[in-house]
Amino acid sequence: MNEFRNGDLVFDVRDEGPEGGDLVILLHGFPETKASWNRVVPLLTAAGYRVLAPDQRGYSPRARPQGRRAYVADNLVADVLALADAAEADRFHVVGHDWGGAVAWYAAMWEPQRLKTLTSLATPHPKAFSRSLLTSTQLLRSLYFLAFQLPALPERMLTSDFGRRRFRTALTRSGLPEEAVDSYLVALSGKDAMTAVLNWYRAAALTPPRRQTAVSVPTLYVYGTKDIALGPKAADRTREYVNGPYRYERLDSSHWLPEEEPDAVARLVLEHVGS
């Protein structure tokens, strides 16, 4: 399929691999698109898996509802389930990076009967993240998160010529390859697109902490030791919030694991989903 629907929203999706293969859904983060998985997908399909990589809510041009409440975690998880339903898959493997990792965690918390395995790249369990804010350097690393809460100003900055140059420099210095940066910034060049993806940050506080529960789904968590956005404290504490089988791997890499370490990511995912 090239697209799927959830209600009135239409999402673009990459669909590769044998139709009857075990399903793996790949969820990108900010400011990525499904192109972040370009070097991972062939390695998974070569192993016999069917892979679906969508442009998520706000990133797909026909799936940009207005208002931050449209981007609460419940809706983001519902999009993933709608994709699995469109593929006629009762159960599936989910792999998420950055914000896609957060969606994967919530799917495992709230819909464990639908998931075969969970893999999160870079993103710790949400409760491990929140509990690390005041006990580590995480709050300083997350100041941009607070800045994104401001109305209108962040998107004006990020879509201006000056702001785009600063944003591009920040992304490349954090380890994201230049060609990927250019691709993602083109996809988010319009103010409506930037507002939509920033609404993920603005909606984050609308998920009550009491709904951040431990997961029982078999879990692989992969952390890059050079990650400037997410610190090691939350990464190390994530184990406390997984009741099922758990594997924790650290790579000598930046935050951008799918782009920087596609071979290692694919190897770890294949070991996990095949175990």
pLDDT at residue 272, as a whole number: 98
Contact assessment for residue 40 and residue 265, using Cβ atoms and an 8 Å cutoff: yes
- The 3-class SS string of 167-192 reads HHHHHHHCCCCHHHHHHHHHHCCCHH
Among 98, 125, 184, 241, the one annotated catalytic: 98
Q: Give, in degrees to the nearest 5, the angle at Cα 173 between 169 and 179.
A: 70
Among 28, 97, 255, 272, the one annotated catalytic: 255
223 is known as an active-site residue = no
Cα–Cα distance measured from residue 269 to residue 55, given in angstroms and rounded to the nearest whole number: 20
pLDDT (tens digit, 0 to 9) for every residue of the chain, 275 residues total?
Answer: 999 999 999 999 999 999 999 999 999 999 999 999 999 999 999 999 999 999 999 999 999 999 999 999 999 999 999 999 999 999 999 999 999 999 999 999 999 999 999 999 999 999 999 999 989 999 999 999 989 999 999 999 999 999 999 999 999 999 999 999 999 999 998 889 999 999 999 999 999 989 999 999 999 999 999 999 999 999 999 999 999 999 999 999 999 999 999 999 999 999 999 98
Among 49, 71, 184, 201, the one annotated catalytic: 201
201 is known as an active-site residue = yes
> HSE on the CB side for 194, CA within 13 Å?
20
pLDDT digits (tens, 9 = 90+) for 86-111: 999 999 999 999 999 999 999 999 99
Percent helix, strand and coil across the chain, each to the nearest 5? 50, 20, 35
pLDDT digits (tens, 9 = 90+) for 148-159: 999 999 999 999
125 is known as an active-site residue = no
Closest CA to 25 of 7, 1, 9, 8: 1
Domains of the chain: 3-273 (3.40.50.1820)
